[in-house]
Chains A and B, each alone.
Chain A
């Protein structure tokens, strides 16, 4: 690796989330919850009805992933990020309920970024397609809700040194936009 990767224990304090900067490369350890399209729809429906979520979302990080089935001898099957924009419709609702981090891949819309700013939340990116590699940093996986959704069920994951990049920080800086712009300019002058 060409750059030092900082270690971060998840969940962390509000100040620690706020101190993260777009472009930071981290190795995160601790607890994550998984949810993608179908689970988001149900979680938001519960909030709309004023009911309790299947886990305490305050201060937590959700990983947008639908893992492959677990082969014998593994903690989990291949488990890379899914594209985040599909969760944009739901994310502000969960951020308002206390969610502090999301891990996925790809762009977020302005509404999500504004809500992240308001709530001091972070959007991390994992490398899309590096699913067999990422699975190595997941130590355990347990379905805690919506088992009927199969791969889309909500899981509680324990991870150790999972490599991520801060894609959007709580001030709204976007590493995708900055990186692309910098490289586009460099390539234009080549």
Chain B
């Protein structure tokens, strides 16, 4: 048994959210630079240039890259030989979110009741927390600050097995096409094929956090990623939605076994401000 204090958990989560909101990943920056060189629209090239400049300002001045600093989503992988000491695990995570959003000048965007009062909770909690028990004695956190301009354009559909590869590609393309300029293209598109409705949605969220430029280790799904990206970038939506060849930076596809009767597909849209960070303690 290795003991991990709740204080360290809070500190780790806090720092991860600060980094996620200030430091857009090198994978995104490289991909934006490459897209700017290849973009067919002059206005699109300028918009990509503005985005690169924006991310540079955020990184050097330690300010939020986007004003929508998102809803906090935390994936915690807890080693079964770790012992959490000093209090409640979930509360320690929430406290990390609270501290990051108040001390880091990040926007508080969470309302307590979704339908009736819609009152802002004032500290961006609660976070959406997923825990998984894994081998080992450490805890790994993967966090993402999920903006809702893009979250609102996401979709889940329960296809029939007969829909097959074409059905999956059509649904991904349709979701991005319908979203148009709304989710701040260029996008990172996270997809999960299979599982149940809820499993597909969670794995699609995780897929948005995979670095752009990486591929699914299964060559069939890697091929599907390339094909989906090609189709999306032919839609013409472009940077900021004013037309262009850069509508998405990446389509990251994951899969999970499913039922004989089903083919669930979840498409989680993320904007170019793809904010995520990882830390292990």
A residues 1-46 touching B (CB-CB < 8 Å): 1-3, 25, 38
Partner of B236, one of A79, A82, A187: A187
- Shortest CB-to-CB span from B254 to chain A, Å, is 25
Residue B40 at the chain A interface, CB threshold 8 Å: yes
Interface residue tally for chain A (C-beta within 8 Å) = 53
A180 and B182 contact, CB distance less than 8 A? no
Bitwise, B231-255 to A at CB < 8 A (1) or not (0) is 0011111101111110000000000
CB-CB under 8 A from B235, the residues of chain A are: 180, 184
Partner of B108, one of A107, A150, A176, A178: A150
**Stretch in B56-64, B163-171, B202-210 touching the partner:** B56-64
- Shortest CB-to-CB span from A37 to chain B, Å, is 9
CB-CB under 8 A from B236, the residues of chain A are: 179-187
Closest to A128 in B: B184
**Stretch in A50-58, A63-71, A94-102, A111-119 touching the partner:** A63-71
CB-CB under 8 A from B106, the residues of chain A are: 68-69
- Shortest CB-to-CB span from B3 to chain A, Å, is 36
**Stretch in B44-52, B82-90, B217-225 touching the partner:** B44-52
A residues 156-190 touching B (CB-CB < 8 Å): 163, 165, 175-176, 178-188
CB-CB under 8 A from B67, the residues of chain A are: 65-68, 77-80, 131, 151
CB-CB under 8 A from A25, the residues of chain B are: 43
Partner of B271, one of A129, A151, A179: A129
Residue A47 at the chain B interface, CB threshold 8 Å: no
Give 5 new A-B contacts, CB below 8 A, not counting A78-B64, A130-B53, A179-B43. A2-B42, A77-B64, A134-B54, A176-B180, A184-B243
Give residues in A with beta carbon < 8 Å to B: 1-3, 25, 38, 65-71, 74, 77-80, 82-83, 85, 105-107, 125, 127-136, 149-152, 163, 165, 175-176, 178-188
Task: Give me 16 A-to-B residue pairs in the complex whose CB atoms sit less than 8 angstroms apart, sorted by A's number.
Answer: A2-B45, A3-B46, A66-B68, A67-B67, A77-B105, A85-B182, A125-B240, A127-B50, A129-B272, A131-B54, A131-B64, A132-B57, A165-B242, A180-B236, A180-B242, A183-B244
